[in-house]
Structures are given as structure tokens and as C-alpha cells.
Structure 1
Amino acid sequence: MKSTFTPTVRVLATAALLAVPGLAMAQSAALLDQARNALQARTSALGLKKTDVSDPAITSSFTDDYNGLTHVYLRQRYQGVEIYNAVADVHLNAAGQVASLHSTFVANAAAQARPATPGLTAEQAVAAAARALNLAAPQNLRVTKAGTAAAGTEFSTGGISLEPIPVKLMYLPMPTGELRLVWDVTIYPRDARNYWSVRVDASSGALLDQHDLVIREPFTMTALTAPLALASTPTPAAPTAARPTAGNSYNVWPITVESPNHGARQVVTDPADPAVSPYGWHDVDGKPGADSLRTAGNNVYAYEDRNNRNNSTTELWRGGYAPKGGANQIFDAAFNSAVTAAPTANLDAAIINLFYWSNLMHDVMARKGFTEASGNFQAFNYSGQGRGNDAVFAEAQDGIIASPPDLNNANFATPADGRNPRMQMYLWDRTVALASVTAPASLAGPIDATEAAFTPKLSKTGPISGNLVLVNDGTTAPTLGCSPLTNAAAVNGNIALIDRGTCNFTVKIQQAQVAGAKMAVIVNNNPEQAPYTFGAATDTAGMRIPAIMVSTADGARFKTALAAGTTVSLNVTGTTTYYRDGDFDNGIIAHEYGHGISNRLTGGAATATCLRNAEQMGEGWSDFFGLWMTTKPTDVGTTGRGIGTYASFESITGPGIRPTRYSTDMAINPSTYNYVGKTVGNTAYTASHPIGYVWASALWDLNWALIAKYGYNADLRGTTGGNNIALQLVIDGLKLQPCAPGFIDGRNAILKADSVNNKAANSAIIWQVFARRGMGFGASQGSSGSLTDQTVSFALPAVLSSRQQLSEKLLELYPNPANSQVVVRTQVSSAAPVQVELVSLLGQRVSVQQVSAARLQQEGALINTADVAGGVYIVRLTTSEGTITKKVVVQH
């Protein structure tokens, strides 16, 4: 048994074309020359000068065996100095022809660049970067890898970084167009909460640009309101009474089971894929035979980091506590599903599940093209391609006893190929009100309730008991309580019951308070959403009574009883805080790992900073990976899927931590490209998660459209089945898109991937899916650095919408079955207004209207079915491109 090792990475040299000496390449010098020549041949078309493309550095390249594509990534250089994020990607097919090419090279660099002579030394640049980041001054800094300024130098950690500190002279494009000479410095602070890539002026040391390689999944409704009753050191969980006996077994929530709420825990034996993890998940030296008894191996090292201090990098298999599987590698631990269970009681089970799912992500995605050559995460690369030495450090229950504690989050840090990524999984908290109904007997018992963020705390006011009185503000919606209450006398001295909606929470509470209520109870108006900590914590002015929220269902029970003249009494004694462990939310684990995939594949594995533009879709790819990995054979696309429902204490039908659930049903998930940069409902689509939600909605539609054509393959490592084809297209699209991509770049890359992989067999489906979400023919992203200059289009290319007999798949009807109305949408273009008809099966026209094609593409048209007899009807659209018909069922 070996506890540590130094991986030996075989290097295939390719002469002086490489930007980083010793970088493993599988391509011949001739192929690399072809890529460079292809870029130079397109100088004029790219708006560049010959000097701009005369000396590019090849940062990475690899060939995909399954489609024969060779991907070459180049970085622009001027005077031998690389230009930050000036990346070209050239993709050659098996015949050596250019399949795709993009460039973010800077035009006329010679006129924009300053002389390549720095005023500061590399060591001074490290000190300047540390000052700018408010870190301590580096101590005992020494060179660990020598190199020229342009090639880069690596320094020791200086007592401020988890990793050695690389420093490299570069040019930074400025908003004015100038190319500023900078030192590019990467510092990984010892608390691992950030991983800073910064650029300081090469003469003054002033901070000019910074980017955090740590990508987070925040979800915080309120600050922690109860002290942490958690042990400071881990207590390994006791094993279950009947342990599995087969070797190499893991007791986990297996692949496609999203969380303990979604399915049963099972023992899985020999889950490693021998094609991509040939010596199993516990190999650490690239030779046959397991080398680790712990949750550690070539792809992943999973361990606890509850104090956020187990981040030392003095040796490879380090960190906090990790459970052992014994000589037979049996990983089993008890699991307490009670919401009151202390997180430490489930620590072993959490680490085992985290290890299992992180390895699953490695194996499945390697099968789909996230390989050693393309920059995946392995300590030892069996093929000799890629850099190796970068297994994932997966940290369970991270930072919960740190100060301040880390909660309601998860993150993934992705450095360039050859450096370890880190996944930090946190606990999620929910503070609930201890509320119960004391009368009538038919309703008596505890209820689910949460405290407001802005009203006096129950911990200060003490227990409150009283009778519920449904408010009446004298308006057409009297129970919303947005105006002075007309039944103030009844409310006085009692507990006001108020429906959520229309006005904000502070107005409702103020009206109840003026009427003399001792407490307010808000009834949630979203039946799919559990009560949550509501209101803004800053809105405390004038608040004198506490307030809680109850579910839609409980509120309905209360209102029914009150309407019948029954007295409903409530007792609220205080609050308590429960914790859920993100290590059991497998969708979140897959999501976080997905950030590593999208960052490594976009712009090549040697560039970790291509996804920092405004319109980048990183969160969307990660959501898609999480949804894809947890799709069961019995699932259907129209069913809503939330993200993080387990971690956020919701049922499996809840929306989770996204604006809506993901669904192909536009009535559930209506998002389109038109949302980006705007505020729709209560969501501002200007941050990375809402933007990613729009992109993932289109990818999710694509997945189900391909399943409809090819079926679902339960073998997620396979190549057949619509689900596997969809994931393959998404992975290859990441490789084929440019650095700093926008939505249309992403769409085009998927179309290109289908052209290469499938001879464009699915181009019609891809166009239909993206047109449906506003990324159709004629759509433009403008600058991928802006969220306000896109052109939205719901149109299909003419070649797909010119047939006289058009497929019913081009027509959307929802809801179907319909009750009072049905929404009609299509992406088919029409030179004339579209005639929309509802026709009986006997051919009788029930209704007809003329609607513009633009309206049908964007918001759709309404057909009123309230006065139509129940039964089956035909919706018929007549466009200049042809006729579409589809059945609709009317039910009353």
C-alpha cells in the first residue's frame, strides 16, 4: 500500500510550437502547422493584420478519436509576449480540412501595444498582487520553476497561497483599445474561498484586472439565525447492521437518483468504467491494483473540510478525515434521514456519496469526450496526453465550523490543466418557526412555517398564541391585506391571516399591525414552494409584530375552517435551524463538476479564463449536466425539474434555486433569449445563474427532442439513444465554440458538432429547439460582453419552413388537454398574417383569427375554449410557408 506518489506523465514533444515547455501533445508538428497556416490564411476575413497572426503560441491541442477532429488552441503574441484571452481555436477534420475556426485576436496589436519592458520584477509583481488582494505580504518567496518573463516563472507559495504562484508577462487589452503590459499572477489564498487570476501593471503594480476561478452556487435568503450546534471534529458514522459483503462496493444514491428525496440508497459494486478508469477508482500510480483504502484515487480525493483548513498542498493525498473501505474496499456508513439529525452523524455517508458521484462524472464525461487529452481531471494520465497531476479535491461539509461558517452554497475552482481543481460542498440551513395548530382538533398538530427576515424575532418576543382572523381590506381581493383593513376590530388582539401577492410583505405587515394584530401569518401563493424566510432584512423600520409564512395547503385548510365559522388557534413558540448536506444533492455535485468541464474545454485546457464575459453560459451547462445525470428512463420532458430541491428543503416538485422548474412545457418554463438582460417577474436576468437558466432551458429541450427521435438509452456511457447523442453534442460544442462565447456562438457550435458527428442529421431538430427559445434564424448576440444588444428571433431557416405540409412538431399547444383556453405557438415564418383556426373533427370551424407570425413566435396566440364543448378538436395554422395541424383535447 502506497499513501503518496509522484505521477509520471509521458510527454510527446512537438518542437518549438508550444507556449508551455513540456506540455503533452498528441498531434504531429505538421497538423499544428496546418492549424497555424489556416489561421494566417484567414487574416483579412478576421479583420486582422499579418503581424497579428505571425507568431501565435499553441497552448493546447488534441484529437478526438470518435470523430477525427483535431482541436488546436492558439494565443496571440506580440514581441514574443502573449495577449490575455486573445485566443484562436482551429478545428481540423480527419482529412486535415478546417471544420471550424474562431478568433478573439486583437486587431492591429502593433499599434496598440506598449514596449515589452517591465518596470517591476516578477517577484515585485507577486507582492503587488498580494497587496491588491488584501493578502499578507509574501514571505521567503523563491523561484521553483525558472523561466523567461514571457514564458513565465513559478514561485513558492510565500505563505499566502495554497499552490505555487505562477507569474508571466502579458499584454492586457484595455477598454480604450490599448494593450497594457502587465504581470499575470495567480494566487490561491489559503482559505480556498477564492482562486485569484490577476493582472497588475508591469511598471506601477496597479491592479488592472482580476478574475476568480472559484465559481459559486449561492442561495442565501437570510443570515444564520441560530447558533451552530455542531461538533468541532468529525465523528465517523457507525456502519449499518447488515453491511455489503462484495468487494469494491459503495452504499450511495446511485446514478440517476438525484437525492434521498428522489430514490432509495443502494449498494453499487464495481462501478468504475474500465475504459477510462482502467485500474479502478482507488488507483494512484497508474498500475494495476488498488492503492488507496480511503475515498481517494486517480480521479478524486474526497474528504471532510469542516474547519476550512484542510487545504494544505504539501503532499498529494492530504486534507481532512476520509472514511476507509478496508482491505476489500467496502464503503458503507449509516444514514439518518431525520431533518433533526446532526450533520456529523452522516459525515461518512456524505463523503462516500461525494466520492462516488465525482467519479461518475469523470467516467461518463470521459466517454463523451472530456478526456485526458482535452484536459480532464486525473492525477495520472494513462494515455500520456494532457498534463495530469490534477485530480479533483472534493471537500465535504466544507467550512461549517469556520468563522464565518460557509452555508447555502457550493463551488468549484478550475485552474489550467495540470493544477488541481477543488470542489467545496456546504451545508444548507433552514430556520423554521415552531408552530402548531391547537384548535380545532381536526387541524391540530405542527405545521411547516418560517419566520420573516424583517420583523421582530420570536426569540425576542417570546411565544405567541391566538386565534387566526382572515383579513379584509375592502378591495376586490380583500385577503391580500394591501389596504387599511375594514375588519380591524376583528383582527385586533388576534393573529392576522394574509394571502401573499400584489403588494410587498412590509405593507401587509404594517396594515395588520395598525389593525392591532399580535402577529401576521402570510399564506404562500405558490403551491409548489415551501415556506421560506421572506422579506428584505433591511425593511425593519416600524415593524413591531412578528410574522411567519405557511404553505398554500395549510393556508387553504385554515381559510376553509374560518369560512365555516370554526375558530382556528395557533401557537408559535420560537424557531430552530435544520441543516441539509449538499453532499447528498447529486444534481449539485454534477453541477459543480460541470464548471470544470466547461472551463477546461472552452478555449483549450491551458486557458482557464474564457468564461468570464457577460453572456457566457457556464451555469447553464452545469445545470444541464446535473439534469442529464439524474434523468430516469421513465421521465418525460414536460415534467418540471427543479435544481437543488433537496438542499433547499423542498419537495421533488419544487422549483429549487432557479426562476422556474426546467421543462419542455412552456407553461412551466417560458424562458427565452429575450429574457437575457431584462427583469422578468421577480428575476433579473443579468447575473450568471438566471442567464445560465435560459441557456440550459434550450439544452434541456434539445435533450428531449433527440430522445423523441432516438429513444432513451439507460446506459449513460453509450453512444446511442437521444440522451447520449445530446450530451455528446453539448460536450463537442464546448470544444468548438470560441473563447468568450455568447448564446449564438453556443448554438452554432452545437450545429457544427452535429454536422461533424452525424452529418447534420439533427440540424432541423436543433434549429427548432433553439428557435423556440428565441435563438432562431436571424438571431444575433451582438457583443458577448453585453447583455443588451442581442437580436431575438423565433424563426426557422427558410429551408425548414418552406414545405407545404408542415410537421405538427412545429406547432405547440399548451395546456393540452385545455380547459378555458389554449396557447398556440410556432417558429414557422410567414410573409402574411397567420390564420389560426379551431376545427371540430367533423370539419366545422369553431373559431378563426388572424395573428402575425412575430406574435406567434414570441408570445403565442390564445384560443378561447371556455364555451366550447368538451372533446377532441384540430388547431390549424395556415401560413405562407404551408399548413400545420395538431389535435387538442378540451376538458371542462
Structure 2
Amino acid sequence: MVKGPSLVQWLSIFSAMGSAIGLAACAIGDNADGTTATRDRDRAVEVLQRQAGAPVTLEVNEAGISRVVAMAPRFSLAGHASDPVEAATGFLLDHHDVFQLSAADASSFVATRVDVEPRSDFRHITLQRTFNGIPVFQGAITVHMDPANAVFRAVGDDFYRIAEPTNRQLLTPADAATATVRAFGLPLTPAFAASEGLRTTFTATGALDPLTVEPRIFQVAPGDDRFAYQTTVSWLDDHKQQQYQLTLIDAQDGSSLASYSLVNTFTGRVFTATPGANPTTDTRVVVSFTGDPVASPSGWVDSTRKTRGNNVISATDLDANNTIGANEVQPTADASDAFDFPFSPIQDSSLFREAAVTSAFYLANNWHDRTYALGFTESAGNFQTSNFGRGGAQNDEVQQDVQDGSGLNNANFATPPDGSRPRMQMFLFTINGGVQEDGDFDPTVIYHENTHGLSNRLVGGGATTCLRALQSGGMGEGWSDWVAASFLNDPVIGAYVTGNATVGIRQFSMAASPFTYDDIKNGTLAEVHAVGELWAATLWDVRTALGAATTEQLVVSGMKLTPCNPSMLAARDAILQADVNLTGGANRCAIFGKFAGRHMGTGASSPSDSSTTTIVTSTAVPPECGGGGQVTRTFTSTDVPKAIPDNNATGVRSAIDVAPAGLDVQHVTVSVNITHQARGDLIIQVSAPNGQTATLSNRQGGKQNDFVATNLDITGSFTIGSPATGQWQLFVRDLARRNTGTINSFSLTITSSN
């Protein structure tokens, strides 16, 4: 994170003063019922709308704080200098009431990220709230502007409105470092190493990386803002798994106020039998390691001629100590500058360490250059040793541990803030019952892990702690899956390491996923990797409609517009805004149609990124896209009643022929009336024209009579967008003796996008 000169200069004065007592508050407060600031904000929005001459959309968070201010068409900042930072700060100063800030509050923001898109020249200026020079944790406002510095969107974190801290700044950075290791029970003794700007660095034997300490203001609860220190520490736990924590330490008493894991872990579903065939031949090809001249001007390989360079340092970590020691492998190019080592897919990957490191090094560098072209540049917080004077904080190339000895069947990526080195740990896989496979040879695994760094560094202006709840964390997993899949044009993640070419490590290929937003609401998707499958499938739907290149750019540009702690709907809106920026909104209806197909349409809502049961789903699209142009039709069987044969596995079928041609599946409900003397004898299923099946009852209900269902939602059993036209069947089987029954009625209500 780049810090302004005034901020650095103030810190040196503050440090010399020691503790600060009675600093003047710079936040305005609401009255007892919170209405004054709200009325002022609403009036300010009206003023902004009059000046813009166009609608202004305001979204607030659960606490009623302004979160997203969007202007359409873009609001011209007439009279401001051409410098984007001056334009962004000028906007905030002129319209501080929109964010419920006083003029003094607004003047305390400093620019910490100036990100200019290389293709479109759009600007994203992150303005960090400070209190007497100390940054506020998750207290930034990011102003988004077009190439003419016209503001079209401003996104605020949750805690930019703070009051005078309730505690005192008594502890030193060294005290905070000690308090951090104590909070985690670590046998570490921090020793001062360096101080630069706001950051103090400590070394400690046993820590994987230097400890960092920076002052922050942290909101514990509304009205309870504290002087704090933000610290980072990394270590190996008792199971030799990497832990990397960002912690807020109370600057008065050393207590831990909050802690966030910075490690994103790649997990998968274990199969006891391998459903797919393993590769039997080596199909590797020789490619250049030069790198893109714009993204990697110094190339991928440095003067050592080893697998290390400006973007990535790759080596084995067999000893699981994050050190390239004598026992580790870091290949050197041969006399012809080639990293060319043997490999056989029918032998354990542990026998081919040079090839594994070479593969991992190539894939991570390739990912670096491809995401650089999409806007993940130095100023956006990417991973490089040198930033070549292009902005951002440097000395944060990826540390890549190949065949790490601390685990199996997994991988992870730790993303500290810009300027601190991330670490990728790659493990061997033993889950398909054959030879040991290595994720270092699976591009989907490497790309997935790297993309955790992308989303953590872009969403919320680079706070790196914005993707922690069910929906936001799920999107972190989904973005990682989707970028890997899109780069490789393959919707299956982890096919190589699992031996399963159909679904890989997930429940479904993202091209055949049945999940919708309803599955978060009803608890079917209750874990971040499962939620990620929905997000990845939705983006894959969009990619199918728009193509890979357009969608990749919209997704990465959308991350920059996405607020901290986003719901899926907030991230959807960011992608739609990115499309406005890049194409003038040419793809709006196509994008909305795909999100609506996953029940994230115009009528959907979600109070926060942790919401489940309070989610409202919708399949509607905007009026300009056909206005709810989805059509719902009810189809009724005409071949009933039908007797159900007793104790007969062949059963009986009732059919419905759905027409006209071209209908697809967006939503399906079924109504069935069956009389029977013991419904526990019955298996009742509905099948679609493509053979997908929904089971309504599988010998459930014991000796209870009859089975009656009215508008039972069975959408989750079918692929959204699959053909609805054709024959649907109700299939009923009686698998026990003595009881008989009848299918009395059968109907389907199908919503299609056409």
C-alpha cells in the first residue's frame, strides 16, 4: 500500500511523542435516534442528483451507512484538475454529506491506491480514512472514474465513519508484536528489524516471514472505536500447516480485538473409486519462459538462471519450513537455457521434482502476465519484487512451495496486504487410489490458488480481509475456480489430481451445475467451496453468452468495483457497472439474463454477505431486457388417471409433451395427486427431456395414505437453461405387496426465458 508523504511525516512526529491522549474527534455523530445524519445524507443525495442531472442510486449497509453511490450517466466533475487523485478527493470534499461525513472528516482521507486500467484508462482511486494520520481499518472509500475523471461510482467500506477512540495509545509496535505471538500461543520472540513509514518489521526464529506491525483505528462496535495495531504473523501449526493471521491488537491493553486468516485453502471431494482414467503419456510441450514484455519487462528468470524471478520464486519445500535449504530442489536451466526435465504420469510425481517446480513456476508466471493484461497491475496491488516505478508496493513476489511436506491432497495461498510476500503451498495428491499426483502439474490448481491473491487484492480496494463470510468467501472460491476454468477453457477443476474428468474436485462441472441462489437460502449450499460452485457456474453462464475475453475483462474489472464484504448481488452489480464502463452497457441484458437464470434477477436481495434465510430470490430481468420477459406456462397430463401396479418395479408413467420448440428451464414446480394405501411403498420421480430426474419421494411416509404435492419446487434437480421442450414423465413404482393406488393428476409449471 502506497502512503502519502504527509502520512509518513506525521507518523515520525507521532512516534516521537509516544502515546497520544485526547486527540480531537473528527467524526460527526447522529442524534439518539440516528435521524439527523440520515436526513442530511438524503438531502445531499438530492443535491448530487440535481447537479448530475441524472439519477443517483444510493445503497446503505445494515447500519444505514452509505455503501455504494452510483451515477448514471457519469457525473462530470467540472472545475477539478485533471489529476485523478485531486478529482477523487475533490468529489469527496464536495459531497461529504452523501457519506454522512463532515468537511473535516472528508479532509482526513488520503489516497493509498491509484489504479489506472491499462486498456480502458478508467481510474480507481482508493481514499483511506485516517484519524490524526492513522488509517482506519476497512475505512476506505474508492472513487471510480472514467478517463476524463468523471465519477460514475463510489464505494465505501463499512467503517469509514469513526468517532474519537475510546482508549489510549499506550503500547509500542514492539508491545503489539509480543501481544500478537502471545494471542496465538506461539513460542516466538520478536526482534526489531526495520521501520519504514507506518510499518515496523520484526524477525523471530520460527516465524515463516517477518512480523509486521502498523497503527490502525479499529471499530469494535458502533461508538467504540479503538487505537489499535494491525499485525501479521505466519507459522507452521502442529500439523505443519501454514497459518497466516492478520490481527488487530488494542493499543492500550494489548488484547486481541479481531483476527483474520489470510490463507485460502484449496479443498476437494475425495472419491474412493476413480471414475475417470489417468493420463498414461507425457504430453508436455516446450514453451518460452521469456514472459510478456509489458507485464514482465525483466523476464521470468533472473540472473541466477534458476526458477526464480521478479514475479515468482519456486522451489520444493520437502522439509516444510518455508526455506530453500540443502535438501530442496530449485532447478537451474541447462547450457541451452532450457528447464527440460523428465516426467512420467504413471509413476509417483515425487520422483520428478525438477519437472514439478518447472511446471509450477511456468504456470504462476503465465497467470501473472495474463491477469496483468486484465488490469492486475502494480498499481492494483499485484505480486512483484520490483514494480518498475509503476506504483503500488513492491517486494511481494509469490513464494511458491512445491511438493510441500506439510500436507497432502490440498493447496493454499496466503495473501497479506500489498507489499508483503504471499505464499503458495502445493501438495501431493493420493486420493485416486493410484500413483501420487501433484497439483503442480495441474493448471487448474495453480490458477485457482493464484486467483485467491487476485480477488483478495482487488475487492474492497485491497483490504485483503473482505471475503470472509458465506457469500463473499464463496465468491472467493468461485472466482478462483472460474478464472482457472476460463483460462483453460475447461469447466472441470482438478481433473488431473482426482482422476475424475467429469466433476474433478467439485460436485458438478460448472457447465452442468444445477445450483441457484435459492440453494444458499435453503441451506443446500452451506460452505464456502459449495457456494463457490454457484458463483463459478453463474460466471460460466455469462462466459458462454459473451465469450472468454470479454467476460474475463468484465470479471476482473468488476472485482475492482466490488465493495468489501460483498453479497453475490453486490458483485453482480459491479460486473454490470464494469460493462457500462467498457462497452457502454452493450452486454447488460445478456449478463442480467444469466444471473436471473440463477435466481439473482432484478428482484433479488440479500441484506449482507452472510445472509441465508433472509435472501430474496428473483428470476426477473429489467424492463429494457424484455421486462420480466420470462414466460411461465402450466402443462397438465391428459393420460390420467392411471392405476399403479402392485409390487411391480416396472411401474407406471404419465407423460406431458411440452411445447412450443425452444423453451428452456429456468424454474420448475410440479403438482401431483396420488391415492395409495401405503405411500411408503412408492418411488415417485419426474424426468426432463434430457433425462435429468427429480425424486419426489423414495419410499417415504410408511403406512400413511396418498401423496399430494402442490407447486413443489424441483428446479434444483435440473440444469438451468437446459431444454424444456419435449416429453416430461412422472414415473411411479410400487415396491411392496398388498397395497394399490392411482395417479389422479400430474401437472408442471415451467418458467422459460423465451
Q: TM-score normalised to the size of structure 1?
A: 0.61
Of 444, 448, 453 in structure 2, the residue corresponding to residue 596 of structure 1 is 453
Is 1:662 the counterpart of 2:519? The answer is no
Is 1:162 the counterpart of 2:152? The answer is no
Measure, in 2, the Cα distance between the counterparts of 1:822 and 1:360.
Answer: 50
Change (3 A) 1:357 1:145: same
CA deviation vs aligned residue, 1:723-751 (integer Å, no higher than 9, x gap): 11110001100111112222111111111
Change (3 A) 1:102 1:274: same
Q: Is the contact between residue 602 and residue 618 of structure 2 (CA under 8 Å) also seen in structure 1?
A: yes
Secondary structure in 2 matching 1:268:
coil
Of 84, 95, 103 in structure 1, the residue corresponding to residue 137 of structure 2 is 84
Measure, in 1, the Cα distance between the counterparts of 2:245 and 2:215.
Answer: 16
| Alignment map for 1:110-125 (pairs within 5 Å) | 110=163, 113-115=165-167, 117-125=168-176
1:718 aligns to what?
none
CA deviation vs aligned residue, 1:244-278 (integer Å, no higher than 9, x gap): xxxxxxxxxxxxxx995898222224562233223
In the TM superposition, residue 13 of structure 1 has moved relative to its aligned partner by: 9.2
In the TM superposition, residue 755 of structure 1 has moved relative to its aligned partner by: 0.5
Measure, in 2, the Cα distance between the counterparts of 1:766 and 1:80.
Answer: 42
Of 583, 590, 595 in structure 1, the residue corresponding to residue 440 of structure 2 is 583
2:247 aligns to what?
198
Secondary structure in 1 matching 2:176:
helix
Change (3 A) 1:164 1:787: same
1:425 aligns to what?
426
| Alignment map for 1:465-504 (pairs within 5 Å) | none
Measure, in 2, the Cα distance between the counterparts of 1:583 and 1:76.
Answer: 41
Measure, in 1, the Cα distance between the counterparts of 2:210 and 2:522.
Answer: 42
Is 1:172 the counterpart of 2:20? The answer is no
In the TM superposition, residue 165 of structure 1 has moved relative to its aligned partner by: 2.2
Of 330, 340, 349 in structure 1, the residue corresponding to residue 338 of structure 2 is 330
In the TM superposition, residue 33 of structure 1 has moved relative to its aligned partner by: 2.5
Amino acid at match of 2:593: Q
2:562 aligns to what?
737
Measure, in 1, the Cα distance between the counterparts of 2:618 and 2:319.
Answer: 50
Measure, in 1, the Cα distance between the counterparts of 2:366 and 2:753.
Answer: 44
Measure, in 1, the Cα distance between the counterparts of 2:513 and 2:528.
Answer: 18
CA deviation vs aligned residue, 1:765-819 (integer Å, no higher than 9, x gap): 110011111111021121124344322111101221249xx799x99x9xxxxx9
Amino acid at match of 2:187: A
Secondary structure in 2 matching 1:430:
coil
Change (3 A) 1:319 1:361: farther
Of 608, 616, 636 in structure 2, the residue corresponding to residue 791 of structure 1 is 616
Secondary structure in 2 matching 1:775:
coil
Secondary structure in 1 matching 2:379:
coil
Measure, in 2, the Cα distance between the counterparts of 1:153 and 1:81.
Answer: 12
Of 39, 44, 60 in structure 1, the residue corresponding to residue 113 of structure 2 is 60
CA deviation vs aligned residue, 1:592-647 (integer Å, no higher than 9, x gap): 01111111112334x32222234211111100111012117xxxxxxxx3321221
Change (3 A) 1:878 1:389: closer
CA deviation vs aligned residue, 1:836-885 (integer Å, no higher than 9, x gap): xx9xxxxxxxxxxxx99999999898974559xxxxxxxx9999xxx986
Measure, in 2, the Cα distance between the counterparts of 1:67 and 1:259.
Answer: 43
1:613 aligns to what?
469
Q: Is the contact between residue 87 and residue 104 of structure 1 (CA under 8 Å) also seen in structure 2?
A: yes
Runs of 4+ in 1 over 4 A off after TM superposition: 11-15, 17-22, 47-52, 220-223, 258-263, 819-829, 851-867, 876-879
Of 342, 345, 349 in structure 2, the residue corresponding to residue 343 of structure 1 is 349
CA deviation vs aligned residue, 1:495-520 (integer Å, no higher than 9, x gap): xxxxxxxxxxxxxxxxxxxxxxxxxx
Secondary structure in 2 matching 1:332:
coil
Change (3 A) 1:132 1:17: closer
2:607 aligns to what?
782
Q: Is the contact between residue 310 and residue 319 of structure 1 (CA under 8 Å) also seen in structure 2?
A: no
CA deviation vs aligned residue, 1:704-725 (integer Å, no higher than 9, x gap): 111xxxxxxxxxxxxxxx2111
Aligned residues: 598
| Alignment map for 1:370-449 (pairs within 5 Å) | 370-399=376-405, 405-430=406-431, 432=433
1:748 aligns to what?
573
Secondary structure in 1 matching 2:295:
coil
Bigger helix share: 2
1:467 aligns to what?
none
Change (3 A) 1:741 1:108: closer
320-329 vs 775-784, greater mean Cα deviation: 320-329
In the TM superposition, residue 673 of structure 1 has moved relative to its aligned partner by: 1.3
Q: Is the contact between residue 476 and residue 532 of structure 2 (CA under 8 Å) also seen in structure 1?
A: yes
Change (3 A) 1:167 1:261: farther
Measure, in 2, the Cα distance between the counterparts of 1:92 and 1:123.
Answer: 40
In the TM superposition, residue 12 of structure 1 has moved relative to its aligned partner by: 10
CA deviation vs aligned residue, 1:334-387 (integer Å, no higher than 9, x gap): 11222xx33331211111111111111011111111112212222222353222
Q: Is the contact between residue 335 and residue 346 of structure 1 (CA under 8 Å) also seen in structure 2?
A: yes
1:628 aligns to what?
486
In the TM superposition, residue 184 of structure 1 has moved relative to its aligned partner by: 1.4
Measure, in 2, the Cα distance between the counterparts of 1:878 and 1:679.
Answer: 23
Is 1:651 the counterpart of 2:503? The answer is no
Is 1:700 the counterpart of 2:557? The answer is no
Measure, in 2, the Cα distance between the counterparts of 1:319 and 1:610.
Answer: 38
Of 294, 297, 308 in structure 1, the residue corresponding to residue 320 of structure 2 is 308
Q: Is the contact between residue 796 and residue 827 of structure 1 (CA under 8 Å) also seen in structure 2?
A: no
Change (3 A) 1:855 1:331: closer
Change (3 A) 1:884 1:598: closer
Q: Is the contact between residue 48 and residue 108 of structure 1 (CA under 8 Å) also seen in structure 2?
A: yes
In the TM superposition, residue 188 of structure 1 has moved relative to its aligned partner by: 2.1
Amino acid at match of 2:357: I
In the TM superposition, residue 138 of structure 1 has moved relative to its aligned partner by: 1.1
| Alignment map for 1:554-593 (pairs within 5 Å) | 578-593=435-450
Secondary structure in 2 matching 1:602:
helix
Measure, in 2, the Cα distance between the counterparts of 1:305 and 1:129.
Answer: 26
Secondary structure in 2 matching 1:322:
coil
Measure, in 2, the Cα distance between the counterparts of 1:14 and 1:337.
Answer: 52
Q: Is the contact between residue 19 and residue 58 of structure 1 (CA under 8 Å) also seen in structure 2?
A: no
Measure, in 2, the Cα distance between the counterparts of 1:591 and 1:85.
Answer: 26
CA deviation vs aligned residue, 1:186-215 (integer Å, no higher than 9, x gap): 112266701111112222222221111111
Measure, in 1, the Cα distance between the counterparts of 2:484 and 2:383.
Answer: 18
Change (3 A) 1:866 1:620: closer
1:136 aligns to what?
187
In the TM superposition, residue 584 of structure 1 has moved relative to its aligned partner by: 1.1
CA deviation vs aligned residue, 1:567-600 (integer Å, no higher than 9, x gap): xxxxxxxxxx742111111101100011111111
2:329 aligns to what?
321
Q: Is the contact between residue 304 and residue 397 of structure 1 (CA under 8 Å) also seen in structure 2?
A: yes
Change (3 A) 1:372 1:260: farther
Q: Is the contact between residue 51 and residue 110 of structure 1 (CA under 8 Å) also seen in structure 2?
A: no
Measure, in 2, the Cα distance between the counterparts of 1:590 and 1:62.
Answer: 23
1:642 aligns to what?
492
Measure, in 2, the Cα distance between the counterparts of 1:406 and 1:19.
Answer: 45
| Alignment map for 1:754-773 (pairs within 5 Å) | 754-773=579-598
Is 1:277 the counterpart of 2:127? The answer is no
Change (3 A) 1:222 1:173: farther
Amino acid at match of 1:114: T
Q: Is the contact between residue 470 and residue 531 of structure 2 (CA under 8 Å) also seen in structure 1?
A: no
Secondary structure in 2 matching 1:385:
coil
Measure, in 1, the Cα distance between the counterparts of 2:234 and 2:210.
Answer: 8
Measure, in 1, the Cα distance between the counterparts of 2:252 and 2:2.
Answer: 38
Secondary structure in 2 matching 1:333:
coil
1:889 aligns to what?
none
Amino acid at match of 2:200: E
Is 1:360 the counterpart of 2:370? The answer is no
Change (3 A) 1:625 1:21: farther
Secondary structure in 2 matching 1:647:
helix
In the TM superposition, residue 754 of structure 1 has moved relative to its aligned partner by: 0.7
Change (3 A) 1:644 1:138: same
In the TM superposition, residue 826 of structure 1 has moved relative to its aligned partner by: 6.1
Amino acid at match of 1:687: E
Secondary structure in 1 matching 2:96:
coil
Give unpaired runs (5+ residues) of structure 2: 13-79, 636-653, 669-687, 689-709, 731-747
Q: TM-score normalised to the size of structure 2?
A: 0.71
